[in-house]
Amino acid sequence: MERLAAQLAATATRPWTLMEVCGGQTHAIVRWGLDQLLPEGIRLIHGPGCPVCVTPAATLDAALDLARQPEVILCSYGDMLRVPGSRSGDDLLGVRAAGGDVRLLTSPLQAIALAQSHPDRLVVFLAVGFETTAPATALLARQATALKLANLALLPAHVRVVPAMEAILNGPDNQVQGFLAAGHVGAVMGTAELQGLVQRQGVSVVISGFEPVELMAGILRCVQLLEAGESAVANAYGRVVLEGGNPEAQQLIEAVFEVVDQPWRGLGVIPAGGLALRPAYAALEVGHHRPQLLEQPQPSAAQQPQESQEPQHPPVCIAGQILRGVRRPCDCPAFGSSCTPEHPLGAPMVSSEGACAAYHRYRPN
């Protein structure tokens, strides 16, 4: 680490601002104090790469409405159960405490066994995440369709990373000059999408892993590209990421989902920023499957590209600015006082990949 830090100091001739996209990378950077090892002028800002944090408030509200229905079993990944909705402030754990049937899954395919063992109930899977979890949801959709399960539905909210990176670059308050791209998304999608981003935006991108040495090596490579005036994609995670990614996973995504404009928390509607079920699988979407279960019927992402879905955070919460990398968690007046992991005001404090949670855990003062 000291050797890499010394190389960085010898390489940088001017200030540079880099954004690590993934929340897992943010936690590693804060946990190991990597940002504090960088030479003066090299600055890391934190990106929106936390699927729990960027899931639209409207989707959370719909999940809460469903979980209150006695005929529904609502299931999702663990962190999603603690994110408050925008209308009542409740979260799914609160609804479960009040009698709702809310289950935690570690794999989407567990929803199939749940539906088969409860044929008199409707099992709804709240499907969130980036290209890393979308293949598993796609596999669930294909298997549920093949089994003709009539009591399994999806509430899909999958998002795409590269369009969000482009939206940040196009934002009026953009500060990013180079990206550290998430290695696990690269393992699925390869480098083609990032090549397109580099060609359109003239930015430098380095695919990085999650270990401290991998992140420092990624930062060094990105600064080397910037100092050389090169716009390019560099793969500093070659032990995991292949140029073509995982073709089988990509084919699953392509077969089940289509690209749509999608609202993100904190970033608004991002062109091509989400994945919606293709017409062949639309019957699985809960809004299509059982629209009467939703207090306010939720149009699919494909049907609402122009509608802003900004969350209704309390005014003191600056979660939106944190998700865009404009502010840091410690800039928030509520950080560590009225907003804590036990009583979060915004999604970045809830999720195990959220930037606020990382600072609260590893750098509370």
Contacts of 144 (CB under 8 A, 6+ apart): 111, 112, 115, 152, 284
- pLDDT class of 99 with cuts at 50, 70, 90: very high
Given a cut of 70, is residue 289 above it in pLDDT? Answer: yes
Q: What is the pLDDT of residue 228?
A: 96
Tell me the HSE value of 246 on the side-chain side, using a 13 A CA sphere.
Answer: 18
Given a cut of 80, is residue 306 above it in pLDDT? Answer: no
Given a cut of 70, is residue 305 above it in pLDDT? Answer: no
- pLDDT class of 88 with cuts at 50, 70, 90: low
Look at strands 72-76 and 42-49 and give their pairing.
unpaired
- pLDDT class of 314 with cuts at 50, 70, 90: low
Q: What is the pLDDT of residues 319-360, one digit of tens each?
A: 888 888 888 898 898 898 888 888 878 778 877 778 898 999
In this structure, which amino acid lies at residue 59?
Answer: T
Q: What is the pLDDT of residue 299?
A: 47
Q: What is the pLDDT of residue 353?
A: 78
Q: What is the pLDDT of residue 311?
A: 46
**Considering the chain, what is the average pLDDT of its residues?**
89
Which whole number is the average pLDDT over 288-308? 55
Length of the chain: 365
- pLDDT class of 86 with cuts at 50, 70, 90: confident
Q: What is the pLDDT of residue 300?
A: 47
Given a cut of 90, is residue 309 above it in pLDDT? Answer: no
Q: What is the pLDDT of residue 223?
A: 96
Given a cut of 90, is residue 87 above it in pLDDT? Answer: no
Q: What is the pLDDT of residue 296?
A: 54
* Residue with the larger pLDDT of the pair 266 and 272: 272
Contacts of 342 (CB under 8 A, 6+ apart): none
Q: What is the pLDDT of residues 173-226, one digit of tens each?
A: 899 999 999 999 999 999 999 999 999 999 999 999 999 999 999 999 999 999
User: Which is nearest to 135 in space by CA: 251, 24, 286, 274?
Assistant: 251
Contacts of 215 (CB under 8 A, 6+ apart): 20, 25, 28, 29, 34, 180, 208, 209
Contacts of 46 (CB under 8 A, 6+ apart): 19, 20, 23, 26, 322, 325, 328, 355
Q: What is the pLDDT of residue 350?
A: 77
Q: What is the pLDDT of residue 208?
A: 94
Q: What is the pLDDT of residues 2-39, one digit of tens each?
A: 889 899 999 999 999 999 999 889 999 999 999 999 99
Contacts of 39 (CB under 8 A, 6+ apart): 5, 8, 9, 12
pTM for the complete prediction? Answer: 0.87
Which whole number is the average pLDDT over 150-160? 95
Q: What is the pLDDT of residues 35-79, one digit of tens each?
A: 999 999 999 999 888 888 888 888 988 999 999 999 999 999 988
Tell me the HSE value of 265 on the side-chain side, using a 13 A CA sphere.
Answer: 34
Q: What is the CA radius of gyration of the chain?
A: 20
Given a cut of 60, is residue 145 above it in pLDDT? Answer: yes
Cβ proximity of 261 and 270 under 8 Å? yes
Residues of the chain with pLDDT > 70, as a percent, come to 93
